[in-house]
Structure 1
Amino acid sequence: MRICASSTAPSRVPVAKAHQPPSLHSGIPATGDCKNVDLSVPVHAHNCRFPVKNFVRAACACARGSRPEGVGGGARDLLLLCDCSLPRIHGRFDLCKSSCSRRDPGMRVACPAKQIFQKVTHVIFDLDGLLLDTESIYKKVFSDIAQRHGKVYTAETRGKVIGTTEDVGARIAVEEMQLPMSPEDFLKEYKAAADKSLHTVGLMPGAERLVRHFHTKQIPIAVATSSGQDTYDIKVEHHKSLFSLFSHVVTGGTDPEVKSGKPSPDIFLVCARRFKDSPKPEQCLVLEDAPNGVQAAVKAGMQVVMVPDKQIEEKATKLATLKLNSLEEFRPEMFGLPPLE
C-alpha cells in the first residue's frame, strides 16, 4: 500500500504494515502536466508544500494509477491524502476523490488533518537530539578524542553510537575506531569534556511548543533517555520548568529496571508502565532521533516518529512510522491527538 501525502499537494507515504511503518515521499513537480508527473522522487515532509495548481495534476496522476518503480498492483495500492482543511482545496479534494473512485472503487482518499495512523493516548520523548541539542556536543567530543589518536569518528560509527547508554557508546567507539584505550578510559575523557558544555545546552526547534501543547491538552507525556540520572540532571539544569511538565523520566543508564539499553525495548516498556494508567504499548507514541531508539520502540510494539540527524543514512530510518526533519513539522492529529493551535 502506498500513500500520496500532501500539505497543499500530494506526496507519497508507504503505509505501515506490522512493524514496517512509513516515511514521507513526494513526487509532484512544480511544473509539467499529468503525462510527466514523476511519483518516484523521495523528499521529506517539509518539502511537500507545492503550489495549489499542482493538486489537479496529482489527482490526475493518481487517477492514472501512477506509482513509484517497483510498486505493483492497481489503483488500490494508492491512498491519496488531500489537505481539505484549507478552504481553497475543497473543490480539488472532491475532484481527486471522484477521479480516483471512478478508476477503481478500491482507491481510498483521506485528509491528513484527520487521524491517519493508529490512535494513541500517551507520548514518550527521547532526550538527546530530540528535545535537547546535545548531539552536536557529543559529536565534537568523540571526534576530538578520535583525532588525538589519529582516528576519524565516521558517520557510520556515529549511527551505531547514537541512542545507546554512555558505557555502551564508549565500547562501540573504542571497538569501531580501534582506539588504543579501554572503554572506561574513553568514558572518563568523554565525560570530562562533555559535562562542561552540557550545562548550557539548548532546546531543539519545536520541542518546547510541543511539550507545552501536550501538557495543556492533558496528554500524558514522559521522557525515556539512555542517559544516567547524573548526566540527565546536568542537561536539564536550565530547562527545569519545561521538564517538570513530564509525568516521569526514565534514565536508562542508571535505572535498575532497564536491563538492556536501546535497541532493546526495555526502556520504553518500563516508561509505559510508569504512567498512572499503565497504557498498552500500542497506545504509546515514541518520538525519537536515533536508529537504536526507533528499533527499541518498534520492538516494544509502539509507533515511532523519527526526526533523524542529517548524517543518518536513509536505510537506518526505514522502520520509523513517520519521518520528519524537525518537531516543528509534527502534526499530532495524524495520531488522533489534539492539533497544535
Structure 2
Amino acid sequence: MENWHSMARISAVIFDLDGTLLNTEQVTKNILKEFLAKYGKVQDSDKERKRLGMTFKESSIAIVNDYDLPLTTEQFAQEIVPMYHGKWLLAKALPGANRLMRHLHKHGVPFALASNSLRKNIDGKISHHDGWKEVFTVILGSDQVKSGKPSPDIFLEAAKRMDVDPLHCLVIEDSLVGVKAGKAAGMKVVAVPSLQIESDSYSIADSILHSLLEFQPEQWGLPQFGDWVDNTLPIEPIHLAGVFSDGLLQTYSDTELPALPDQIWGLYIGWAKFDGKKVFKAVSSIGWSICGCGYKRKIQPCILNESDADTDDSKMQLLLVGYLRRSCSAGNILNNLDILDEDKLTADAALNLPAFSHKSCASFFLGDAEDGFAP
C-alpha cells in the first residue's frame, strides 16, 4: 500500500453498496441456504466466499452449476429473487456509512454509487433509507455498463458522468472483486472487507479499514470530520443481548436484534444492563478469536463501576453509543484490543456527556423500563 502523503488529491468518491454501505449481505445470508435445502443441497461456505462481489447473473450461473440444480439460470432467478426482496427492507446502514455520506454532501464533494447489482435492485434496496437516492450524484448498476466488476467499466462510467478524472476518484469497496475493478480503473481504493478474516487478501488496495468509522477524509485531501466529542465518536446505537460470563458477552443467535456487523471492531463505549439491575457504564473490546471451526466473535465488556455489580452468568443487554479507537499498531489485526486505564477514564467521562447520555438510551433496552441507571 502506498503512503497516503504521495496520493493524488481526491475530488470524488465512488461507493459500492452491498457490504459497504448496507448490511444486505448479512440479512440475506440464509436465503440461499433455505433455497438449496428445498433441492436437497447443502450450502458450501468456500463456494460462497468466491462469489462475493459477482454480478447477479454471474452468481446465478455459478450457483446452478456448483450445486447441480435442476433449473435453468432464469428459473433460479425467478424463484430466489422474491425471497431477497422481503429482506432488503431489513438491511441497515453499516457503521459510519450515513456519517460519511452526510459529511461529503455537506462539503459539496460529489459521490456515486456503483454496484454489481441490477439498477432496479439498487433502487429497491436504497428506497428504504431516507434521502439516499437524492444525495448520490450518480447511481449505476452492472446492467448499465458493458461488463460488471472486476471490469473497471462501472467505475470509469461513474467518473465520466461526474466529470471527474479517474485519477482523482476514490473507490470504497468491501469485496476483492470491487477492489480489483477500482485499481483497474486507475483509481485509489479503500477496502473495508466484509469478510474481515480475509483482509490479508486485499493488499492491492491503497488502504484497508475495519469499518467506515476509521475513515479519515483528510488523508485523501477531503474535508476533515469535526464530530468527535472528547476523544469519542458518537455512533448510531448498536444493541446486543446475551449472557455475560467470564468477562465475555455470548450473544443470542435467535434474538430479533440485528446481528453485529463484521465490520465492528475496536473499542466502544456504552451502557450495560443486567436483568433486575441498574444500567452501568461500560467500555467494550470487540474483535475475533480463533476456534476449531475458524473465527468467531469475541465481545469483552468492561463494567466501569463493577464493584456495584454482581454480574457473572447474568443475562445482559449492551448498547454501544460511541467509538473510542482502533489499534495504534500497523496492520489489520483481528484480535481484541486491551482496554487500558486511559480508555476507562475517557469512557467514564464521555458517558457523562449529553451525546452519550443514558437518558436518551432507555428506550433501546428491552423490558424492565422502570430499572434505574447507575451514575
TM-score scaled by structure 2?
A: 0.57
Structure 2 match to 1:303? 188
2:124 is aligned with 1:251: no
Work out the CA distance in 1 between the residues paired with 2:214 and 2:190: 11
5+ residue gaps, structure 2, are 227-375
2:226 is aligned with 1:336: no
Match of 2:91 among 173, 190, 201: 201
Shift in Å, 1:315: 4.9
Flag as ranges the 4+ runs of structure 1 deviating above 4 A: none
Aligned partner letter, 2:63: A
Residue by residue over 1:175-218, the C-alpha shift from the partner in whole angstroms, topping out at 9 and shown as x without a partner, is 23333322222212220100011134211110000001011111
The number of residues matched between the two structures is 226
Structure 1 match to 2:108? 218
2:152 is aligned with 1:262: no
Between structures 1 and 2, the one with greater strand share = 2
Aligned partner letter, 1:143: K
2:87 is aligned with 1:158: no
* 3-state SS, counterpart of residue 189 of structure 2: strand
Structure 2 match to 1:52? none
Work out the CA distance in 2 between the residues paired with 1:116 and 1:178: 49
Structure 2 match to 1:237? 127
Larger RCO (CA under 8 A, 6+ residues apart): 1
Aligned partner letter, 1:267: I
Structure 1 match to 2:233? none
Q: 1:279-290 alignment to 2 at 5 Å?
A: 279-290=164-175
Structure 1 match to 2:178? 293
Alignment CA distance shift 1:314-1:229 (3 Å): closer
TM-score scaled by structure 1?
A: 0.62
Work out the CA distance in 1 between the residues paired with 2:122 and 2:16: 12
Shift in Å, 1:287: 0.4
Work out the CA distance in 1 between the residues paired with 2:23 and 2:148: 21
Work out the CA distance in 1 between the residues paired with 2:42 and 2:204: 28
* 3-state SS, counterpart of residue 180 of structure 1: coil
Work out the CA distance in 2 between the residues paired with 1:194 and 1:314: 27
Asked whether the 8 Å contact 2:27–2:90 carries over to 1, the reply is: no
2:4 is aligned with 1:117: no
2:53 is aligned with 1:168: no
Match of 2:160 among 264, 273, 281: 273
Work out the CA distance in 1 between the residues paired with 2:148 and 2:190: 19
RMSD: 2.0
Shift in Å, 1:322: 1.0
Shift in Å, 1:313: 2.7
Work out the CA distance in 1 between the residues paired with 2:33 and 2:6: 41
Asked whether the 8 Å contact 1:262–1:292 carries over to 2, the reply is: yes
Shift in Å, 1:117: 3.4
Give me the identity figure in percent: 38
Aligned partner letter, 1:290: S
Work out the CA distance in 1 between the residues paired with 2:182 and 2:48: 20
